[in-house]
Amino acid sequence: MRFLYFFVRRFLHSIFVLLGLSVVIYVISRIVPGDPARMAVGYQAPQWVVNNMREYMHLNDTIPVQFFYWLRSALSGDLGISLLTRRPVIDDIRQVFPATLELALYAGLIMAIGGIMLGTLSAHHKDKWVDNVVRVFAYMGIVTPAFVFGIVFTLVFGFWLNWLPTIGRISPDLTSPPVVTGLMTVDSLLAGKPLIFIDAVKHLLMPSIALAMAGLSQGARITRATMSDNLGKDYIAAERALGIPERQVLWKFLLKPSLIPTVSILGLDIAAAIGNAFLLELIFSWPGVSRYGVRAMLAKDLNAISAVVLILGLAFVVVNICVDLVVGILDPRIRLSAQRNE
């Protein structure tokens, strides 16, 4: 009950964050030079068309009023027309966002599982060779940019070994399953097509691992540090001393308190991955939102740029809510102090 309250409060917070973000986006899109009405109708259109367009776009009103109109249509899903594709921006986003979301979800999964496993392994074998190998690996994972991994993977597993496909979300000879969620792996299963699922996973493997490397390494380091710290805590000594088997001490009583900082860090890494995906989307010809955003920027397509920033901001906020939720579940101290402050 109380936890629900904590969660709702957190959610309301996020709405203000998004509102702030949209103000920033709006202001930026309005202070850049150039008349949006002129851009919308094109350079050949006569002046009266532009004037009508100004009226239609509420550009003759004051900025706060304009913002209100903009927000109202944004909330109803109308983010304007893209200059580049000449389609409603929201339709473009609907098409490209799931690709990035799927990439980021798998990357997040790999980060979390890989990071926690490696970190745990490292902590259990502290200062032995396993630990040293993991630590060197983690350093490399942090200092190497994701696109380098992307290129290396493409060369090694794509061209030399020819194990994995290097382009797109699905092989060209397969037809995409009907769009339900937009996530290829989910839609293929919903459509009952396991072969497409396997194909989609193969396509996801390289870009998502490349995208996950930095977060995975960060997660491994944090998990190792927290866990070896907690290993020296009295409650672990007490649990061992009372005869609780070692496996249960390590995988239950040590793991849970040690995951809390890792989850917070991974949350940031996952949110960042959504924005950082663009170079990988270019390398792997991934039809995602980052690639769309880069093209919009090059074409000064303001509506599309605003929409991309907004959707990335939204993703960031959602990830953070999820992180708070998971941390709240893991750590009763946070949950209970949230109650007490009310």
Partner 1 sequence: MSGHPLLEIKDLYVQFNVYGGALKVLDGVNIEVHPGEKVGLVGETGAGKTTTMKAVLHVLPEPAAQITGGEILFDGQDILKMVPSQLKQIRGKGIAMIFQDPTLALNPVFTVGEQMSAVVQYSMEAGRNLTKREVRERSITTLKEVSLADPERLLGNYPIQLSGGMRQRICIAMALAARPKLLIADEPGTSLDVTIQDQVLRLLDELVEKRNTAIILITHSLGVVRERTDRVYVMYAGNIVENAPTTQLYSRSFHPYTQGLMAAVPKLTGGGVSDGIPGRMPAYLNPPQGCRFSPRCPRVMEICRGEKPMLREASPGHQVACFLYPRGNELEINTKWNVSSGG
Residues that bind partner 1 (CB under 8 A): 126-127, 231-235, 237-246, 248, 252-253, 256-257, 260, 330-333, 336
Toward partner 1, which CB reaches closer, 125 or 295? Answer: 125
Toward partner 1, which CB reaches closer, 163 or 235? Answer: 235
Toward partner 1, which CB reaches closer, 94 or 128? Answer: 128
Q: Determine the distance from the C-alpha atom of residue 121 to the mean position of all C-alpha atoms in its chain, rounded to a whole number.
A: 27
CB of 226 to partner 1, least distance (A): 12
Toward partner 1, which CB reaches closer, 107 or 249? Answer: 249
Which of the 8 DSSP states describes residue 253? I
What the block records as the tokens of 176 is 């995409």
**CA–CA distances in Å: residue 322 to residues 14, 118, 148, 167, 337:** 12, 23, 30, 31, 19
* Residue 85, helix vs strand vs coil: coil
Pair 335, 1: CB distance under 8 Å = no
What span, in angstroms and rounded, lies between the C-alpha atoms of 227 and 250? 9
Toward partner 1, which CB reaches closer, 69 or 251? Answer: 251
Q: Residues 178-200, buried b or exposed e (16+ Cβ, 10 A)?
A: eeeeebbbbbbeeeebeebbebb
CB of 243 to partner 1, least distance (A): 3
Toward partner 1, which CB reaches closer, 61 or 331? Answer: 331
What the block records as the tokens of 50 is 């532009």
What span, in angstroms and rounded, lies between the C-alpha atoms of 32 and 71? 19
CB of 219 to partner 1, least distance (A): 19
CB of 293 to partner 1, least distance (A): 40
Dihedrals phi, psi of 88, to nearest 5 degrees: -55, 135
What span, in angstroms and rounded, lies between the C-alpha atoms of 240 and 248? 9
CB of 234 to partner 1, least distance (A): 4
Q: How many alpha carbons fall within 13 Å on the CB side of residue 193?
A: 17
What the block records as the tokens of 279 is 């170079």
Angle at 204 between CA 199 and CA 205, to 5 degrees: 100
* Residue 88, helix vs strand vs coil: strand
C-alpha closest to that of 220 among 146, 153, 141 = 141
CB of 225 to partner 1, least distance (A): 15
Toward partner 1, which CB reaches closer, 246 or 342? Answer: 246
CB of 118 to partner 1, least distance (A): 19
CB of 261 to partner 1, least distance (A): 13
Which of the 8 DSSP states describes residue 130? H
CB of 227 to partner 1, least distance (A): 12
Toward partner 1, which CB reaches closer, 131 or 199? Answer: 131
Toward partner 1, which CB reaches closer, 114 or 328? Answer: 328
